[in-house]
Chain A
Amino acid sequence: MIERTPALNLLTHAVLLSGLLILLVPLYLTFVAATQTLQQINQIPPSLLPGDQLLSNLVEAWTRSDFGQKFLNTMILAAGVVVGKIAIAAITAFGIVFFNHRLRMLVFWLIFITLMLPLEVRIVPTYAVAANVLSPFQTILDVTGVSWLVGQLSGIELALEWNLLNSYTGLILPLVATATGTFLYRQFFLTIPDELVEAAQMDGAGPLRFLWEVLIPLSRTNIAALATIMFVYSWNQYLWPLLIITDPSYGVVAVELSRLVPDSNTTGGGIPNWHLAMAGTLIVMIPPVLVVVAMQRWFVRGLINTDK
């Protein structure tokens, strides 16, 4: 940035270039695979040069998987997760950092622990919850005798049910429950100087005004980073949608993509349509890449403009 010595510049370029190559080689191979035919892709050794089947593979992958509807669904899913995550994480972190109550750390740890148990491990009971989101409350009411009481008094039997399977809500809500965003915001909020808070208090601003008028604008870059990450994360979500979506009109792209990938686990033989799978990968990759490219320009520029 300051010095412009040629040697240092050369070194910098060398580092960046080799880093770029290392990072992009797998993507190049994906691209090459997407351009080949079934025969070519199963050859030994695999060809490193692109073939000419790109367009036909893309078209075939698109039609086989009916990506149109799935793209829309995944867009809705990703948008929902991004908005939900940003909003919830911001207010929660705010509540943890800027108020001095004894339960602060407990709340933070309660939220943080959710990072430590992967979904794969708790997927079976989570499904039961998604099938009836109100079941925890039903059980609590049953166990504490409240539902019995209500039944005695009014003759109404409490049977709470809200089925989230095959719905956008069911796809979005569980993914909003993770802790990364809250942790990120917490780290950022901890760097806010006391003077800002005191100044706002002297101006007579309550906590919510402070949040909305001061903190959120300052957090722009964090919001951008978080939005990018959550978009990509939810776009590539596979395990949860596979389980709760059985209606094809609610399908998402990651599940559809894995349908294209040949299954090597059966005792039988699927035709290894790797070229279609890789073409599908390229298609599926486009929105997150676009988002990443667009957002990273914005949040870095935003960073440079704010001088603390």
Chain B
Amino acid sequence: MRRAYFKNNWVAAALVAPQLLIIFVFFYWPTAQALYWAFTLEQPWGGGNEWVGLDNFRSIVEDEHYWNSVGVSIVFALCATALSMGMALTLALAADRQLRGYRAYRVGMIWPYAVAAPAVGLAFRFIFNPSAGLMSHLNAIWPGVWDPILDGNHALAMVIVAGAWKQVAYNFIFFLAGLQSIPRSLVEATAMDGAGVLRRMIDLQLPLLAPTVFFLLVINITDSFTDSFGIVDTMTAGGPARATDLMVFKIYEDGFRGLDYSGAAAQSIILMLLVMVLTFFQFRYVERRIHYS
């Protein structure tokens, strides 16, 4: 644990004040209002509201489709994170070897991060289109094997792949930076001790990469809960039959398209609590095992 601190706590207060001020005005104040709606029946155009206490929560929790969306969100978060982090780590380890053409690979891998969401959705539609895309060739051989229009699992797989795709570039940047920050001298010393590539990965690189892994894990999981709206909106609109009805999508659909502000607010509270619990667990149990220096 850290022992060396600076003493002047007023300086600390001044340092954190700007960010706190901004998040108070632009996050906490509006959020408080939005969350207040969760306990009332709010008319969209602002004509008035009626206090209903926990009624909104009760009707959400009793709704089986809500639990469906919670389940779908968890599956999505875990799969997309595992897929994108796994792939990014593999690619970063390979790129770190700095073979010929390494720079080109590095640039190419980072490109997807710069692409805007509508383009991602369209491009993946072309790939996954069961009757006309790349996957249609599979369907020509085994008809009906790929059917995201009616088969919920296929649709979810499609959304997971699209979501992971965008994240791979982001994770790759951080993994590569983390790997490259391990001093060469250390790596060479380990190699001279007779450790092979795999051994070095397990004993040296991964442990030193742990803070980065933790950071990315938290960000990836949080983002897959909160940032995945665009992908679902352009690709599946929550269907078929709610198979890709992520919580954040459901909130937006019910609340803002459907003009049910109270229900959306209640769902938002639950979403926030869920993400908080998940993050708390990660901090408590995973961060413990990371050595920072």
Direct contact between A and B judged by beta carbons closer than 8 A: yes
**Which residues of A are at the interface with B, using a C-beta cutoff of 8 A?**
1-3, 8-9, 12-13, 15-16, 19-20, 22-27, 29-30, 33, 44-46, 88-89, 91-92, 94-101, 107, 110-118, 120-126, 128-130, 133, 136, 173-174, 176-177, 180, 182-184, 187, 190-191, 193-195, 197-198, 201, 206-208, 210, 221, 225, 228-229, 232, 235-236, 238, 254, 257-258, 261, 274, 277-278, 281, 284-285, 288-289, 291-293, 296-297, 299-300, 303-304, 306-308
Whether B116 and A88, one on each chain, are in contact in the complex, defined by CB atoms closer than 8 angstroms, is: no
Given known contacts A206-B8, A229-B170, A2 and B268 CB-to-CB distance under 8 angstroms: no
Measured between beta carbons, the chain A residues less than 8 angstroms from B114 are: 232, 235-236, 285, 288-289, 291-292
Given known contacts A15-B94, A136-B29, A29 and B132 CB-to-CB distance under 8 angstroms: no
Whether A115 and B111, one on each chain, are in contact in the complex, defined by CB atoms closer than 8 angstroms, is: no
* Distance to closest chain B CB from A12 (angstroms): 5
Q: Roughly how many angstroms separate A226 CA and B64 CA in the complex, as a whole number?
A: 41
A23 nearest CB neighbor, chain B only: B112
B132, B215, B264, B293: the one within 8 Å of A183 (CB): B215
Measured between beta carbons, the chain B residues less than 8 angstroms from A120 are: 229, 248, 251-252, 256
Whether B15 and A121, one on each chain, are in contact in the complex, defined by CB atoms closer than 8 angstroms, is: no
9 contacts across the A-B interface (CB closer than 8 A)? A1-B98, A33-B122, A92-B16, A100-B5, A101-B9, A187-B214, A197-B6, A281-B118, A284-B116
Among all A-B residue pairs, the 5 with the closest Cβ atoms: A95-B15, A26-B123, A288-B114, A125-B30, A197-B4
Given known contacts A1-B96, A210-B6, A307 and B183 CB-to-CB distance under 8 angstroms: yes
Whether A117 and B215, one on each chain, are in contact in the complex, defined by CB atoms closer than 8 angstroms, is: no
Measured between beta carbons, the chain A residues less than 8 angstroms from B196 are: 3
A25, A201, A292, A307: the one within 8 Å of B113 (CB): A292
Task: For the complex, count residues of B whose C-beta is within 8 A of A.
Answer: 108
B15, B31, B173, B293: the one within 8 Å of A92 (CB): B15
Measured between beta carbons, the chain B residues less than 8 angstroms from A2 are: 187-188, 191
B109, B112, B183, B261: the one within 8 Å of A308 (CB): B183
Measured between beta carbons, the chain A residues less than 8 angstroms from B22 are: 88, 173, 176-177
Measured between beta carbons, the chain A residues less than 8 angstroms from B110 are: 292-293, 296
Whether B108 and A95, one on each chain, are in contact in the complex, defined by CB atoms closer than 8 angstroms, is: no
Measured between beta carbons, the chain A residues less than 8 angstroms from B13 are: 95
Q: Roughly how many angstroms separate A181 CA and B136 CA in the complex, as a whole number?
A: 42
B230 nearest CB neighbor, chain A only: A238
B97, B271, B292: the one within 8 Å of A117 (CB): B271
Q: Roughly how many angstroms separate A15 CA and B14 CA in the complex, as a whole number?
A: 49
* Distance to closest chain B CB from A18 (angstroms): 9
Given known contacts A99-B9, A124-B261, A281 and B229 CB-to-CB distance under 8 angstroms: no
B contacts with A: majority SS: helix
* Distance to closest chain B CB from A86 (angstroms): 12
Whether B106 and A257, one on each chain, are in contact in the complex, defined by CB atoms closer than 8 angstroms, is: no
Measured between beta carbons, the chain B residues less than 8 angstroms from A46 are: 126, 132-133
Q: Roughly how many angstroms separate A267 CA and B184 CA in the complex, as a whole number?
A: 61
Given known contacts A23-B165, A289-B114, A107 and B215 CB-to-CB distance under 8 angstroms: no
Whether A23 and B168, one on each chain, are in contact in the complex, defined by CB atoms closer than 8 angstroms, is: yes
Q: Roughly how many angstroms separate A140 CA and B283 CA in the complex, as a whole number?
A: 35
Q: Is B241 an interface residue (CB 8 A)?
A: no
Known: A91-B15, A116-B279, A292-B114. 13 other contacts (CB 8 A): A12-B97, A19-B105, A23-B165, A46-B126, A118-B248, A120-B256, A122-B34, A136-B24, A177-B26, A221-B177, A221-B181, A236-B114, A281-B118
Whether B119 and A281, one on each chain, are in contact in the complex, defined by CB atoms closer than 8 angstroms, is: yes
Q: Is B11 an interface residue (CB 8 A)?
A: yes
Q: Roughly how many angstroms separate A125 CA and B26 CA in the complex, as a whole number?
A: 9
Measured between beta carbons, the chain B residues less than 8 angstroms from A12 are: 94, 97, 99
| Complex interface bits, B83-98 against A, C-beta within 8 A gives 1, otherwise 0 | 0000100110011111
Measured between beta carbons, the chain B residues less than 8 angstroms from A207 are: 6, 8, 11-12
A90 nearest CB neighbor, chain B only: B15
Whether A201 and B12, one on each chain, are in contact in the complex, defined by CB atoms closer than 8 angstroms, is: no
Given known contacts A232-B113, A289-B111, A303-B180, A116 and B275 CB-to-CB distance under 8 angstroms: yes
A235 nearest CB neighbor, chain B only: B114
A191 nearest CB neighbor, chain B only: B292
Given known contacts A1-B98, A30-B119, A116 and B222 CB-to-CB distance under 8 angstroms: yes
Q: Is B117 an interface residue (CB 8 A)?
A: yes
Q: Roughly how many angstroms separate A128 CA and B31 CA in the complex, as a whole number?
A: 12
